Structure 1
Amino acid sequence: MRSPESLAARTIGSRYFNRRNFLNAGVRFSPSFTWRSIWQAKGVVEIGGCWRIGDGKTIKIWKDPWLPKQNGSRIWSPPKILDPNATVETLIREEEKAWNTDLINQIFAPFEARQIQEIPIPRSEQTDTFIWKKARDGMFRVKLAYHQIKAQNRHQSSNNYEEQREDNTWKELWKTKAHPRTLNFIWRLLHKSLPTKKNLSRKGARCIPTCMRCWEGEETEEHLIRQCDFARRFWFASPLNLRTEQEEGLTLRKWFLDILEKLQLKEKGFFCTLIHQLWKARNQLVFEDKELPIIEEIETATRVFEEYWKAQKKEE
């Protein structure tokens, strides 16, 4: 890609990706061993490499990686105004050697428009160059590619572990001895589908998204269950004796799953019931202007859970 005029590039290119660049090439019918080996490394090049803007004539806006700060380096905004096969040069004012900011702001999402306008355009005539992002000089090296593959594999293994762990935890959750309404509430909570003030505000409802208890943060799921001073005192006073301020670096879902894994079957049901009680207490405050002491909220949750637990035991 950096030496398209070399004999190897012209020989392989004429057969497998004539008039196209390597990243957009397919494996083709009955490929040679050499080409098949090169093509299999394309994924590594796509992740680690990126086009550096020269004249913009060879870089396709929506098909090539050219945004160095973007995940995958490709444009996410769908094609509009320009042809889907348009090249980057159509975004440049040739005489001024500057970006066409009006056009860019019309086509791309704001975060992409800012990234594009931050890319420097050479004042002198230069061709587009494919570079390796992790290298200071932009040159590809086998060592850097090796580290890229290792990092990618570690990330994939971590994702697979988390996905498997989450699947197993959800199975355990549905086996938990808690009221079905409570389990349904937990599912909605962790999928961020509760009508919190922040969610309602985001959907266009006219409301102040601030928490009505502390007036110090937006009413999100995270805030209601862990971050609000009321929630922190609630968990510390509960029989589980949790200190939520010590785990602020975790997402709500990760915090919930971590605690659930450490609890016994009955404690899991009680934990879910306590979370549900926090939401019920919030609704009492919002809709009835009623605020009970923390100890009463905990006693209510304890009574509700014990009644359900005993009923289940009788059925068994």
Structure 2
Amino acid sequence: MFRWNSKLKILRKALKEWSRKEFGNNKICLGQLRNQLNSVQQLAPFEDNLVVQAGIQEAIEVVLAREEMYLHQRSRVNWFNHGDRNSSFFHASMIQRRQRNQILRLKTANGNWKDTDDGIDQEIASYFSSIFHDDGPRDMASVLAHVPLSITEEMNTLLLRSVEDHEIKAATFQMGALKAPGSDGFPGLFFQQFWEVIKGDTCAAIKSFFSGNYLLKKLNHTNIVLVPKIPHPEALPHFKPISLCNFSVKIISKVVDFINTTSGAWSIPKLKQVLSEEEALSISCIPISKTGTEDSMLWDFTTNGKYSVKSGYHKTWNDLILSKLEKPTSSINPPSAFWKFLWNLSIPPKLKHFWWKVCRNRLATKENLVRRNCANTPMCPRCGKHSESIEHLLCHCKWAKKVWFKSPISGGFFPNNINSALSWSIAAKEEMDKGARVCLHMERWLGLWVRGVNSRLPKKLSRFMLLPPTGHPKLPKFGQPPPPDMLKINYDASWIDSAQKSWGGIILRNSRGCLLDGRRFCISANSAFIAEAFIFREACLFAKALNLQNVSIESDCASLISLSVSELVPPWEVLALITDIRKIGAELELSFCWTPREGNEAAHWIASSRASTLGCNWVSFPPIPLLNILCKDASVYQ
């Protein structure tokens, strides 16, 4: 422990000296480079001068990047990546935090104000001395005699076991890299970036503490910071003391309170101690990585999940456009009688579905496309004067009005009076007979929609879409057998919305279709997609537990298979699961394949409610329904 602390002390002095000589003051260096650039730019544009100018500009870029990185680390903003020239934002965040934490005066218990440095120091010392006053030792033996033992022998053995290197590394990388450092000046970023260099000394120092040796007083020195608990604090009770410990002490004291490190799952009893039943259930449904994936923050409006100024600008601009749309808002909740009326109409099914999409605002108008970040502008491509909402496309556009005006079936139908397709549909329900007029109006609306979509497409593409469909190869109805030297795992999940639970089924078969092994289990999940991803990871862990390699894993969920074989950033709900799947797949050389539902019936049956009576020996003695499915698949494999 002493040698480790001495090395950190020597390294700190050496790094400060190296930084002073190597980089100097960024502000002074940047000013000198800009003066040199101005001098070179005033010279004739010869090739030698242009080369010198390019070199100076490159040096300026390096200094700016270094300054931005420095301000980013000091700003404590961990959700915003540097690299977009955000120096002004980081500097403003740093100044704002400094002003918020600054104490200029304090109100005493008597109501008097102290605004001098000595007076503020005396008030703080007096306040905390009274709080932590010790009345002397007390005999607690009589009280402790009636306290039952809560630590079992098994728990005591677990607590007394030696600390492993991987546990120390996990604790190091779970803490914030840019949190405020302690008195030694080393943030978590230093330990994480140079772990391979310092892991030997670090692990030895941590193990020496847990083996019974003492902790150096210098390592336990902390800087106390008073953080305001309210916007405008006046007295000391309005502040919360925060200890800025050395990062080495944080490694020792790091404890994952709510995660069971043995099973890698949430500790439900501990969650229920501090949260409500509903909150604990929701948190328990969030999947946790089992391969040591680091926590990260994702930006939902970019494909790679990283924030950039460009993506933030586009998000803000789209929100501004949508806030100024001329479409009136409505909070109409259509009664169930209207939907019964719609679905019972004697009109073609395609008109019913089209009317339902109109009332639900499910058509791909320019306004809806902008809302989903699929278009740059919501303006109507025909008139170019208004945003293309459903009402504008079907009724208000000059092009649509001409169609209604010239139509012989528009009697009594006035497009100008329609502010909401849903409101008009509910109001017109009583006036329409269940047949001809509704059919004619919906056909007219459908024709307007088709022509509106075609007007956005290039002429060649429009003509191509009018061509009759040609023959195409049919997809295989059943899954294909694996090669003779490979095994195949099929998995599926069934999700129960009301209980927020899911059942999963996994089966292992050879190239002849013989059932070799399988599993069925229950998990907590917030959606069917999360349940499918969770069972997908369990299938990979199933192969790892059996030490299987060169195995094919099949599923009828095409989106998960696509995410597992690509580098796309998955939705945050399944990010930990997909990351684990990719790591295990690369480690075991697994192959992931999509199969239609007909080729995944065995796993689907195991995951369904019909398999609730499965016994312990269902792999050796499959139930009759499962046996029939296996025999059918085996006949296809032959």
Task: Give yes or no for TM over 0.5.
Answer: no
TM-score (norm 2): 0.20
- As a proportion of its length, which structure holds more strand? 2
TM-score (norm 1): 0.38
